[in-house]
Structure 1
């Protein structure tokens, strides 16, 4: 299973709300356009174009791009490390002093390193929180830079190395 597939399966916050409890089948709402039949007939964008992707899918791509960039030079060191994306940090993290195991901005956790893993994952995990990161970014490029900074900071903490070793300044 590739890192991209694992990233999607670790995303514990997101779930498909339209799945029925019987057999996992999707329940489709009745197909209506609008009250007077003047609405859109189909999807706004075809499935292959970037406009069709959701914000969470685009954010997953940013995290995977950051991991791939680190994987080019540090593949052996981060082979046992998992990456996950969640929408928001749990309430309990706001009251804890997380120390170097978390990247925070004005008291809000942007990402966190779980050295012992999570209940469903037995190996170390880095979790990036989507909504706080997106709230601090002005555009997609700024969001990509912030995601990369969070991932590099937490990987450096995991490896016990300086950030400049992983991402040398240019």
Structure 2
């Protein structure tokens, strides 16, 4: 089977596509608000004893983290990081994973913008 065939895609590639799809939908509606916001995927969360309020958790397991950034000349842009393995573990199938990724991104973007998640979805 050719490497470009859908069956040869890794779970990480499929997850990245789900994130990109969710972000693209949001960027169509909120392009100005999301200009400069970076979205990233890491396999697992960093090993910390305590997580700040910028971490979206399920129980004690982080699913995503919002790094608000620092404005200024040498500023760091806001960054939303999704943790692939914990999200995959909670999903029953690909559709469920897509919904979960969407919900987590909505929650983190709402937190970044200071609005209710319902206002974005």
Q: Is the shorter-chain TM-score for this pair beyond 0.5, marking a shared fold? A: yes
**1:103 aligns to 2:49 (yes or no):** no
- Choose 1 or 2 for highest CA Rg: 1
**In structure 2, C-alpha distance between the alignment counterparts of 1:82 and 1:116, rounded to whole Å:** 10
**1:81 aligns to 2:37 (yes or no):** yes
**In structure 1, C-alpha distance between the alignment counterparts of 2:33 and 2:108, rounded to whole Å:** 13
What does 1:14-25 align with in structure 2 at a 5 Å threshold? none
**In structure 1, C-alpha distance between the alignment counterparts of 2:50 and 2:26, rounded to whole Å:** 29
TM-score, length-scaled by structure 1? 0.66
**In structure 1, C-alpha distance between the alignment counterparts of 2:56 and 2:120, rounded to whole Å:** 16
Partner of 2:46: 90
**In structure 2, C-alpha distance between the alignment counterparts of 1:131 and 1:141, rounded to whole Å:** 16
| Unaligned residue ranges in structure 1 (runs of 5+) | 1-44
Structure with a larger share of its residues in strand: 2
Number of equivalent positions: 117
RMSD: 1.3
| Unaligned residue ranges in structure 2 (runs of 5+) | none
Structure 1 residue ranges (4+ consecutive) displaced by more than 3 angstroms after TM superposition: none
Partner of 2:65: 112
TM-score, length-scaled by structure 2? 0.92
**In structure 1, C-alpha distance between the alignment counterparts of 2:25 and 2:56, rounded to whole Å:** 19
**In structure 2, C-alpha distance between the alignment counterparts of 1:97 and 1:67, rounded to whole Å:** 24
**In structure 2, C-alpha distance between the alignment counterparts of 1:160 and 1:125, rounded to whole Å:** 15
Deviation track 1:112-146 (CA, whole Å, cap 9, x = no partner) reads 001127xxx92110000000000000000000000
Partner of 2:13: 57
- Match 1:142 to one of 77, 96, 105: 96
Structure with the larger RCO, 1 or 2 (CA within 8 Å, 6+ apart) = 2
